[in-house]
Amino acid sequence: MSSGSSLLPIIAILPFLGALVPGLMIRAGRTACATFTAAPTILALVMLGVLAPDVMRGEVIEARIEWLPQLGLSASFFLDGLGLLFAGMILGMGLLITLYARFYLSGEDPMGQFYTYLLLFQGAMLGIVISDNILLLLIFWELTSLTSFLLIGYWKHLPEGRQGARMALAVTGGGGLAMIGGMLILGNIAGSYDLTDILTQGDAIRASEWYLPALILILIGAFTKSAQFPFHFWLPHAMAAPTPVSAYLHSATMVKAGVFLLARMWPVLSGTEAWFYIVSTTGLITMVLGALIAIFKDDLKALLAFSTVSHLGLLTMLLGLGTKFAAVVAVFHIINHLTFKAALFMSAGIVDHEAHTRDIKRLGGLARLMPVTAAIAIVTALSMAGIPLFNGFLSKEMMLDAASETVWAGSHLVVPVLATLGALLSVAYSFRFISHVFLGPVRDDYPSKPHDPPFGMWAAPGFLAVFVLLIGILPATIVGPLVAVAGGAVVGGELPYYSLKIWHGVNAALVMSMIAVAGGLVVLLLHRPLDRLWQAAPRPEAKVIFDALIDASAALSGWVTRNLHNGSISRYLAIFVVATVALGFAAWNGGALAPATRPMLPIPAVVAVGWVLLVVATVLVVTMHRRRFQALVLIGVIGLMVSVGFVYLSAPDLALTQISVETVTIMLLLLALHFLPKHTPLESPLWRRTRDGVIAVGAGVAVTGLAMAFLTRDFSTISDYHLANSYTGGGGTNVVNVILVDFRGYDTYGEIIVLGIAGLTIYALMVSLLTGPAARRLRNTDYSQDRSRDRHPLMMVVATRAMMPIAVVVGIYIFLRGHNQPGGGFIAGLVISIALLMQYMASGFAWTQARQRIQYHAMIGWGVVVAGLTGAGAWLAGKPFLTSAYGYIDLPGIEEFGLGSAFLFDLGVFLTVLGAVMLMLYSLSRIARYAGETVNVEPMDYDPSKRVEAIRNGGE
C-alpha cells in the first residue's frame, strides 16, 4: 500500500456523496447548483492528480476494504495507467458536461434532478474503471445501466425518451446479466475475484476448458454496453436524451465501458483464435455498418450516434486484432474519439438549441451565422474524418497500419479493404456534417434565427477542439506519456514499437487513407442519388424487431404466470401438498429406516376419550363444513381439545397460546361470518372432491407415519441444548419463552413483522373491499332481520366492564412472568386483546374506539420498532443482533421477575400482536358500519341508573 492509496475509495465515493447536493442546491439557483455539482468532481480530479505522478512512473496504487469476504467480494480499488486514463476522462468530461448542461437545459427542466443523475452515473463509471474486485466491478456495471436509464429517460414527458431509456436498460441490463455469468466463471478459473490476481493468470485462463463460455458471456456484456453489432440499435434510440447526456454517455463513458472492459481483460482473454475472430469481426462489421447508416441519417444526433457506433466498432476491432501495437492504437484512439466526438455532440446540441432543429435537410450555411460554433464543429469533424493536423488522423493512420498487416481466415485483403471502406464512409459522413450544416448559402427558413450561444455554452466544446488541434500537431508531447502508461497497462508488459507523429513516410496506411478521403468526397458528391436509393431499399427496423421481441417475451411470461399462478389457492395447496408427500415418499423409499427403539405406551382412558372427541369433531367438520356456524363451533371444540392435549403433555405455554388464539380466532370469524353466506354452496364436481379427498388422506397418512416414525425412535434434538442453556444463556427458566425471545429471536422478530403485515393487509383488503363490487352487494344486503333492538344488553356491558381490569391484570401478570413461567408477550397480547374485544362486543366498536386514543397501525409499527431497537441495542455492547442481556428485579409486593433486553423484545411482540388483532377487529367494524350498522351514543341500550336519575330530576 502506498501513501496515496487511501485516496482511492474516497475518489470512488465522492460522486455518490455529491449526488445528494444538487437536489438541495437547486433552491439556491441554477448556477449555484451547477457549481456545487462541479465541486465533488473537481475534488476527485484533484485527488486523481495527486495520485497521477505515481501512476505515470508505472506504480499501481491499491486500496482494499473487506466487504463480504465470504463471497470474495471486497471494496478494493486499484489505479494503473488504463484506470488513470479512464478516470481522468470520466471526471474531466463530467466537469465539461456540468458546465455545458448549465447553459443547455431550459428553465423548465428540473436541473437538480439532472445533476443528481449525472453524478450518480459518473460515480458508477468511475467505479468500473478503478475496481479491483470483479464482483465490485459488476455492481458498478449494473449501476451504470440503471443510472443511464435515468439519464436517457430524463425528459420523461417524451415517449421517445422513455422508450429509448427502456431499450437501453433492457439491452445493457441483459448484457450485464450475461457478464455476471462470465465474470463468475473467470473468477472461478483464476481462484480469485481480484483483477490484479486474474491479470497474472492469463495462460491458465486461456488454457481452461471454461475459457470459451466465459469469453462469450463477457463479450456479450461488453458488446451490449458498447453498442456492437447486433446490439448497436439501442444507442441511436438513446439519443432522445438531452444532448449533454448524449455527449457524456456516448463519447467518454457509458459506451466506452465495454471497450474499457475489453482493454482491461486484454492480457487475460486475448491472443486466442476465438478472441480474434469474434472480437475483430464484430468490430469490423460494426465499424462499416455504423458508418454506412450514419451517411444517410438526417438527424444530426442520429448521424453522430451511428458514427459513434462505427468508432466503437473500430476500437473493438483494434482490440480484437490481438497485437500489442493495435491495442496501443486503441488506447490512443479512445482519447482522440473522446475529444472530437464530445465536442461534436455539444456542437450539434448548440445547433439544435439555436436553430430549433437537428434536421440536416433544413440546415445549411450556418458558418456565417454562428462562426464560433462552426469553427469548433469543423475542426472536430475534420478530426473525425481523419484529416492531417487533427488528432483523428493520427489514430486512423495507425489503425490502417495495423489493419494492413492483418490476415483474416487466410485472406490478406479482407481486413484492410473493410477498414479502408469504414474510413471512407466515415470521411463521407464527416464531410456531410460539415458541408450540409455549416457550408452553403444562408437560408431564410430556419425554425429559429441561429446565432452563436453565450461563452459558457461553447466553452466546453471549444476547449476540446483546442485539444484536438494540440494532439493533432504535437501528439508525442501532449499525450505521449499517457498513451505509453495506459497502453502499457493494457498490454501488460513491454510496449511495442510505435511513434506518435504526423509524417510516417509514404506507406500502405497513407495510401489507404488517401483512397478513403478521395472516396469519401465522391460519396458526398453522389449523396443525393445514393440517399434516394437507400431510402427505397428495404431495411430491417431494429426498434420494430426489439418491440416484437419484448412483447413476445412479456406474453410468454404472462402466459406462464397465469397458468402457474391463477389465483386458486386450492390449486397451490394441492400442488404443494402433493409435491411434499411425493418428496417424503421418495426419501422414505430411498433411505433405510432404523428399527423402532421405543415401545408403545398404554392408552389411559381419559386420553382415549379426548382422542375420540378430537376425531369425531374433526370428522364432523369435514362432513358439516358447508354449514358454516356449526363448523365454526366444531373448530372451537377441536381447538379446546388440542389445548387440553398440550396441558396433558406438560406444555402449559402452548396450551395458553392455543386457548387465547382459539378464542380470538373464533370471535373474529364469527364477526366476519355475519357478512358472509351462512352456507357454503356445493361448487366442485364429484371427481374434484374425490381427488382432493385422496390428496388429503394421502397427506394425513404421511404425516401420521412421519410422527410415528419420530415418536417410536430415540434421536437427539436441539431441545437438549435449549434446556441446558435456557437459564445460563437466556436468563429465563421458561424454555419456551427463552427460545422465542432469545435462541430463535430472529424468527420471532420475523414473525411479528409478518403478523403486523397480515393485520395491515386485512386493513388494506377491507379498504379495497369497500370500493369494489363487494361494497355494493354489502350495501344492498338487508341485515335488519338479524339485527336486534337490544344490541348492547345491560348485563353484558356491566359484566365486561367489571372483567376489564381483572383481564388486564392477568395480561400484565402473564407478560411479566413470561420469561420464567408460562406466559410471555404473545400470550399477554392475546389476553389483553380478548379483554378489549369483550368491550368492543358489549358496547359496539365505534363507541369503544372513541374512548381510546391509540392508533392500531402505529401500535404494530411501534411493536416492530421496539423489538428491532432492542435487538440492535446488542450492537452497543459489541454483540450480534438480538443478543440478550438480563437481570432481575424485585419490586415489593409482587414476585421477583426477570428484566432484560428479552423483556423489551417481548414488549415489542406484545404491541404487535395487540395492534394486529385490534386492527382486524377494526376492519370488520368498518365493514359492519358500511353495511348499515349504526353507531350508538350510549354504552348500553338501556341504562336504569339514568332512568332513576331522570325520574328524580323530573319529579314524580
Q: What does the binding site for other proteins look like in residue numbers (CB under 8 A)?
A: 786, 788-790, 793, 795-796, 799, 802-803, 941-942, 946-947, 949-951, 954
**Residue 819: CB minimum distance to other proteins, A:** 23
Choice between 549 and 806, CB closer to other proteins: 806
Distances (CA, A) of 30 to 107, 111, 208, 242, 311: 9, 7, 55, 17, 35
Alpha-helical segments (H) within 442-507: 455-473, 475-478, 480-491
Pairing of strands 886-889, 897-900: antiparallel
Q: Closest separation between CB of residue 950 and other proteins, Å?
A: 5
Tell me the C-alpha to C-alpha distance, in Å, between residue 482 and each of 56, 139, 466: 7, 28, 18
- Which of 813, 881 has the CB closer to other proteins? 813
Vertex 73: Cα angle to 72 and 77 (nearest 5) = 120
Give the whole-angstrom CA distance, residue 103 versus residue 116. Answer: 17
The whole-angstrom separation of Cα 219 and Cα 875 is: 45
Provide the minimum distance between the beta carbon of 954 and other proteins in the complex, in angstroms, as a whole number. Answer: 4
CB of 610: closest distance to other proteins in angstroms?
17
Closer CB to other proteins, residue 551 or residue 938?
938
Q: Residue 287 corresponds to which cell in the numbers above?
A: 465499424
Q: Which is nearer to other proteins, 414 or 803 (CB)?
A: 803
Instruction: For residue 275, give the C-alpha cell.
Output: 478472441
Q: How far is the CB of 943 from other proteins (least distance, A)?
A: 8
Cβ nearer to other proteins, comparing 710 with 942: 942
Name the grid cell of 912. Answer: 404487535
Q: Which is nearer to other proteins, 688 or 947 (CB)?
A: 947
**33, 22 contact by CB (below 8 A):** yes
Q: How far is the CB of 649 from other proteins (least distance, A)?
A: 22
Residue closer to other proteins (CB basis): 359 or 949: 949
| CA 333/CA 312 separation, integer angstroms | 10
Q: Which is nearer to other proteins, 157 or 789 (CB)?
A: 789
Task: Write down the least CB distance from residue 777 to other proteins, Å.
Answer: 23
Grid coordinates of 552:
413476445
- Closer by beta carbon to other proteins, 277 or else 629: 629
Q: Which is nearer to other proteins, 790 or 895 (CB)?
A: 790
Query: Cβ 862 to other proteins, closest distance in Å?
Result: 32
Please say which residue, 350 or 842, places its beta carbon nearer to other proteins: 842
Residue in 921, 914, 767, 930 with CA at minimum distance from that of residue 854: 914
Helix ranges restricted to H, 770-786:
773-780
Least Å distance between CB 786 and other proteins? Answer: 7
> Which of 80, 933 has the CB closer to other proteins?
933
Nearest to 384 by CA among 374, 372, 375, 396: 396
933 Cβ partners below 8 Å, 6+ apart?
783, 787
Positive or negative torsion for Cα 938, 944, 949, 952: positive
Contact by Cβ (8 Å): 738, 726: yes
* Grid cell digits, residue 690: 374425490
**Smallest distance, Å, CB 949 to other proteins?**
8
Closer residue to other proteins, CB minimum distance, 746 or 942: 942
- Determine contact, residues 921/856, Cβ cutoff 8 Å: no
- The angle, 0 to 180 degrees and rounded to 10, between the axes of the packed helices 30-56 and 7-18 is 160
Three-class secondary structure of residue 76 per DSSP: strand
- Cα–Cα distance list, 193 to 182, 196, 396, 592 (Å): 12, 9, 36, 43
Q: What CA–CA distances, in Å, run from 216 to 175, 260, 277, 956?
A: 11, 16, 12, 103
Beta bridge partners of 134: none
Cα–chain-centroid distance for residue 759? 27
- Our CA angle for 219, 223, 228, nearest 5°, is 140
Shortest Å distance, C-beta 651 to other proteins: 20
- Does residue 103 contact residue 457 with C-beta atoms inside 8 Å? yes
Please state the three-class secondary structure of 165-207 as a single string: HHHHHHHHHHHHHHHHHHHHHHHHHHCCCEHHHHHHHHHHHHH
Nearer to other proteins, 445 or 786 (CB): 786
Min separation Cβ 946 and other proteins, Å:
5
Angle in degrees, CA 157, 159, 162, rounded to 5:
85
The sign of the torsion formed by the CA atoms of 734, 737, 738, 744 equals: positive
Nearest distance in Å: CB 955, other proteins = 8
Nearer to other proteins, 359 or 938 (CB): 938
Nearer to other proteins, 480 or 793 (CB): 793
Least CB distance to other proteins at residue 780 (A): 22
Least Å from the CB of residue 956 to other proteins: 8
3-state class of 66 per DSSP? strand
The least distance separating other proteins from the CB of residue 683, rounded to whole angstroms, comes to 27
Region of residue 386 (phi > 0: left; psi between -120 and 50: alpha; otherwise: beta): left
Nearer to other proteins, 539 or 952 (CB): 952
